[in-house]
């Protein structure tokens, strides 16, 4: 519940920038609010996966220490706004998210900013394989779920790099749910039974991948990822740092503990959480809290007196 206060604050501070066309201003407001509230949480947190390095936006930087200095030692992965472009454009599915795990348990990708990944619900355990063609994975998952292939819906970020992947999904007979941004929500929705998305796949941010892995461990789903260097220079640095770029990593490789927390608050409306809204003199937020140790999913709807946020 202490972590929820940080994502709520980030979402509330970002809300005035929804649809204003300035993603860095929205991100900066969310970062400042999240940092302030994280310092009130009773833990010794260290940011392992920081935010903003890819697009030179403001960040909670890697190695930053947060919390009040008491309580357990933890690794932190943050994304004050997963979907800065969505927020700036006033589109759906922007979230403020935090993932927390035991100290030393989160995979450190160092200079690798992108990851090729595949995420499904529990039906995909022992069924999907990132090393296999997407059509084969879709057919195997459809069989495991007892669905026709043509009823399968696959979430993919709408990027030029995914043109071939999208064509292969459609050639296999499945439908696509193209996401403009925000693949954390896409991965989580793929693992939940209450959504129409059966699988989320494609190349997305490594920070978002670590965050998603924390959530997937709580949902009982399956995630696989493989580091994706953007160029020869990044490839050489990764190999020199000891990364095996051919290795397929599971959620247990990305987060090596069964004690994880994932917290998200909606910035804009979406399939996972409703966005921030004003009702009279109150601000209403919608959040979700996942814990892997207990396997619980909690919804938190909160009303905040607007005068306290002026």
Which residues carry a binding-site annotation for Mn(2+)? Answer: 27, 51, 79, 82, 208
Q: Which residue, 48, 180, 204, 49, is CA-closest to 119?
A: 204
Token output for 229:
């260097």
Tell me the longest C-alpha to C-alpha distance in the chain: 57
- Helical axes 23-38 vs 2-14, angle rounded to 10°: 150
φ, ψ of residue 158 in degrees (nearest 5): -80, 90
* Structure-block tokens of residue 296: 């619980």
Number of H helices, E strands in the chain: 9, 14
Q: Which helix (H) or strand (E) holds 100?
A: strand 95-102
Annotated binding site: 27, 51, 79, 82-84, 114, 159-161, 181-183, 205, 208
φ, ψ at 100 (rounded to 5°): -130, 140
User: Binding site membership for substrate: which residues?
Assistant: 82-84, 114, 159-161, 181-183, 205
Exposure string for 271-297, b = 16+ CB within 10 A, e = fewer: bbbbbbeeeeeebbbbbbbbbbeeeee
How much of the chain is in helix, strand and coil states, percent to nearest 5? 35, 30, 35
Residue 163: partners with Cβ closer than 8 Å, 6 or more residues away: none
Distance CA 149, CA 229 (A): 32
For residues 294 and 270, is the Cβ–Cβ distance under 8 A? no
């Amino acid at each position: 519940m202490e972590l929820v206060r940080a994502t709520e604050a980030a979402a509330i501070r970002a809300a005035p920038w929804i649809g204003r066309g300035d993603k860095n201003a929205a991100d900066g407001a969310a970062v400042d609010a999240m940092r302030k509230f994280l310092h009130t949480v009773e833990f010794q947190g260290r940011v392992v996966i920081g935010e903003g390095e890819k697009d030179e936006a403001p960040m909670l930087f890697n190695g930053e220490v947060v919390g009040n200095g008491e309580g357990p030692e933890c690794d932190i992965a943050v994304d004050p706004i997963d979907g800065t472009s969505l927020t700036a454009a006033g589109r759906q599915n922007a979230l403020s998210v935090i993932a927390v795990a035991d100290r030393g348990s989160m995979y450190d990708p160092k200079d690798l900013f992108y990851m090729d990944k595949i995420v499904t619900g529990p039906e995909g355990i022992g069924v999907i394989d990132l090393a296999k063609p997407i059509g084969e994975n879709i057919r195997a998952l459809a069989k495991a779920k007892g669905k026709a292939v043509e009823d399968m819906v696959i979430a993919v970020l709408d990027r030029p790099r995914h043109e071939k992947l999208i064509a292969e999904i459609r050639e296999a007979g499945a439908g696509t749910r193209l996401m403009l941004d925000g693949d954390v929500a896409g991965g989580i929705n793929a693992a939940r039974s209450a959504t129409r998305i059966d699988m989320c796949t494609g190349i997305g941010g490594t920070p978002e991948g670590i965050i998603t892995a924390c959530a997937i461990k709580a949902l009982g789903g399956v995630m696989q990822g493989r580091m994706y260097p953007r160029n020869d220079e990044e490839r050489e640095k990764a190999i020199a740092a000891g990364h095996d770029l051919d290795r397929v990593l599971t959620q247990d490789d990305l987060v090596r503990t069964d004690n994880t927390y994932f917290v998200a608050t909606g910035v804009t409306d979406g399939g996972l959480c409703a966005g921030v809204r004003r009702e009279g003199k109150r601000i209403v937020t919608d959040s979700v809290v996942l814990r892997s140790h207990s396997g619980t999913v909690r919804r938190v709807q909160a009303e905040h007196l607007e005068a306290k946020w002026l």
